Chains A and B, each alone.
Chain A
Amino acid sequence: MKTIDAYKNDLDQTILSSKKMYDDAVAGCGGNISFRALPPSDIEIYNDFDLTKYNYETDLDAYAESLLAGMEKSFAARKDINDNFFPSIGPILGIGDYSAFVTGEIIFRKDTSWSTPCLKEIEDFRNLPPLGTSKWYKKFLEISELLLKKTQGTGIPFMRGFFSPLDLAHALRGENIYYDFYDDPDMVHELLDYCADATIKFAEDIYALNNKYNGKTKYGTWYTKGKINMSEDIACMISGAAYNEFCAPHTQKVIDHFGVGYMHCHSRAMYLVKEICHLRNVAHLWLATDPNQPRPIDHIEQLVKAANGVAIAIDCDTFEEIQNHYNEMKKGNFSICLPVKSIEEGIKYTTLFEQLKNK
């Protein structure tokens, strides 16, 4: 892996404009739009990488080498696209590691993974092994440290997202959590509080490692210092009222611990944008477009109203859509991602976007 400037021409500028967008977002002011091109090379790493190929007990080095090689390839491929993207590294283990750090095993498939629910009764969380002692907690830190060691000196930021307390509780308890909402709401709060604490501890330990290796670099701690990235996938299954009652306080606890929240949710739950964006100190919400659901790009006006200034990251299908919605988007903060067929197309649309911005 080379130093970060080998993969990004205008790093300072990119960071500066991102910082402005997020500062404005937290302050509730709009007016920022950033652009990201998504060439096939950005996602090829996920197609090429086979999670079942590695022995996580005995040969983490092979895993780390091949992961970093894939990342290097994708960073190098897009180095001439001067969009809002900048490289970051971090473990990719599917989704199982997002909950197995508490307890249990990860089941690996080629391009994904999962862990199975472990709480037969909701109060069983009280009998879980002490946090930090599970196999995958230690393994995850080991993998992170290996990646950090191998990329030390490159200045490439380390990045890691987490499940929100509700996502984690759902992974641990499975579908029973939905009955628990009705049967034992107090215990749901206790479990969610446990999940918030678990996330805080896990993130702190990961961040400390990042600080050890990247603390002195210019941008190595960009994703970790004073920030937390969390997904609210399971919130898509419940009402706005239930979100406010059960989830908001615990998600807020995690955000408050770190400073600013960078959140993720789905277009399936467009109605939740308002609830999530009204949590304190949320800077960013990545609203993934789901199949069979309304597309966020078709609902900019509604999103501006609901977002409270929070920067909403969405995707679109064509550049025309960006042009058509540009003025509306300016009323809030948006990060817009356009899938492109090639690097050349990525360069072309980044230039067109700059022209649109400077008009």
Chain B
Amino acid sequence: MILEDISTLLQKGKAKEVKILVQQALDEKITPTMILNEGLIKGMSIIGGKFKNNEVFVPEVLVAARAMNSGLEILRPALVASGAKSVGKAIICTVMGDLHDIGKNLVKMMLEGQGIEVIDLGVDVDADTIVEAVKTHHPDLVCLSALLTTTMMNQKVIIDALVKAGIRDQVVVMVGGAPVTQGFANEIGADAYTADAASASEAALAFLRN
């Protein structure tokens, strides 16, 4: 019941209430993993699905994600103490020449919603910065967003740079953004493409589980 409430309040973006209930759930000795999966992640997945179907919009997703983060703040120490392993790590950015960041931010939120740690490099990010970031942070995933037909080619430039640096095999490259298609993703040698943020987080999880 309390997990259900966490999920519902999270979907409404009620950060304070989510925080209180997560603490209460911990006090009731519900396992941290259970709170994460059945409360926070469940709520975030529902919001992601509703966004995909145009039932809710960008502000609703963002406040839900904020509520999730406030719940996670309380949960994190308990998760670490219980020995729960981080699901994985991702680097995300919008590629060089492109400032569109709304979709990128939603993907970030949805990945975080699945318990993935995300390092956000921002917008207008060039290949060298990505290569450096992969060497420094050792992520499992590199997520590249592009909204312009002119900048989607920069996703390829980045993949080529990863190959050249000899680190392409260390990461799964996911691409997305309105003009990007599965065909384009195949063409440039990306590992995955999805059309929306909810599917992006599902695809990311699938890769991490394998």
Partner of A237, one of B59, B97, B99, B195: B59
Q: How far is the CA of A178 from the CA of B64 in the complex (A)?
A: 11
Q: A175-B102, A179-B66 are contacts. A292–B57 as well, Cβ < 8 Å?
A: no
Q: How far is the CA of A103 from the CA of B155 in the complex (A)?
A: 32
Please determine whether B57 and A242 come into contact, CB atoms closer than 8 angstroms.
yes
Please determine whether B102 and A237 come into contact, CB atoms closer than 8 angstroms.
yes
Please determine whether A175 and B62 come into contact, CB atoms closer than 8 angstroms.
yes
Residues of A207-258 at the interface with B, using a CB-CB cut-off of 8 Å, are 237-239, 242
Find the A residue at minimum CB distance from B102: A237
Q: How far is the CA of A45 from the CA of B12 in the complex (A)?
A: 47
Q: A238-B57, A242-B57 are contacts. A178–B179 as well, Cβ < 8 Å?
A: no
Q: Does B54 contact A (CB under 8 A)?
A: yes
Q: Mark B71-86, 1 if CB is under 8 A from A, else 0.
A: 0000000000000000
Q: How far is the CA of A111 from the CA of B151 in the complex (A)?
A: 11
Question: In the complex, what residues of B have CB within 8 A of residue A293's CB?
Answer: 178
Q: How far is the CA of A239 from the CA of B60 in the complex (A)?
A: 10
Question: Among the interface residues B57, B105, B178, B179, which one has the most CB atoms of the partner chain A within 10 A?
Answer: B57
Q: How far is the CA of A334 from the CA of B58 in the complex (A)?
A: 30
Q: A238-B57, A292-B179 are contacts. A178–B62 as well, Cβ < 8 Å?
A: yes
Q: How far is the CA of A107 from the CA of B66 in the complex (A)?
A: 30
Q: A111-B150, A291-B178, A292-B178 are contacts. A178–B58 as well, Cβ < 8 Å?
A: yes
CB A163 to nearest CB in B, in angstroms, measures 14
CB B122 to nearest CB in A, in angstroms, measures 10
Please determine whether B105 and A175 come into contact, CB atoms closer than 8 angstroms.
yes
Question: In the complex, what residues of B have CB within 8 A of residue A292's CB?
Answer: 178-179, 181, 195
Q: Does A109 contact B (CB under 8 A)?
A: yes
Q: Does B101 contact A (CB under 8 A)?
A: yes
Q: How far is the CA of A181 from the CA of B61 in the complex (A)?
A: 12
B contact patch SS:
loop
CB A92 to nearest CB in B, in angstroms, measures 16
Q: Does B63 contact A (CB under 8 A)?
A: yes
Please determine whether B179 and A238 come into contact, CB atoms closer than 8 angstroms.
no
Find the B residue at minimum CB distance from A237: B58
Find the B residue at minimum CB distance from A115: B99
CB A172 to nearest CB in B, in angstroms, measures 14
Question: In the complex, what residues of B have CB within 8 A of residue A182's CB?
Answer: 13, 59, 63
Find the A residue at minimum CB distance from B195: A292
Q: Mark A168-190, 1 if CB is under 8 A from B, else 0.
A: 00000001001101100000000
Please determine whether B54 and A271 come into contact, CB atoms closer than 8 angstroms.
yes
Residues of A275-297 at the interface with B, using a CB-CB cut-off of 8 Å, are 290-293
Q: Does A114 contact B (CB under 8 A)?
A: yes
Q: Does A112 contact B (CB under 8 A)?
A: yes
Question: In the complex, what residues of A have CB within 8 A of residue B105's CB?
Answer: 175
Q: Mark B37-60, 1 if CB is under 8 A from A, else 0.
A: 000000000000000001011110
Please determine whether B97 and A175 come into contact, CB atoms closer than 8 angstroms.
no
Find the A residue at minimum CB distance from B66: A179
Q: How far is the CA of A292 from the CA of B125 in the complex (A)?
A: 24
Find the A residue at minimum CB distance from B101: A175
CB A105 to nearest CB in B, in angstroms, measures 14
**Across the A-B interface, the 10 shortest Cβ-Cβ residue pairs:** A237-B58, A178-B59, A291-B179, A114-B99, A291-B178, A178-B62, A181-B59, A239-B57, A238-B57, A292-B178
Could you pull out 14 A-B pairs where Cβ atoms are within 8 angstroms? Answer: A112-B97, A112-B148, A175-B101, A175-B102, A175-B105, A178-B58, A179-B59, A181-B59, A237-B59, A238-B57, A238-B59, A239-B57, A290-B178, A292-B178
Given A182-B13, A239-B57, 5 more contacts at CB 8 Å? Answer: A110-B97, A175-B62, A179-B63, A181-B59, A271-B54
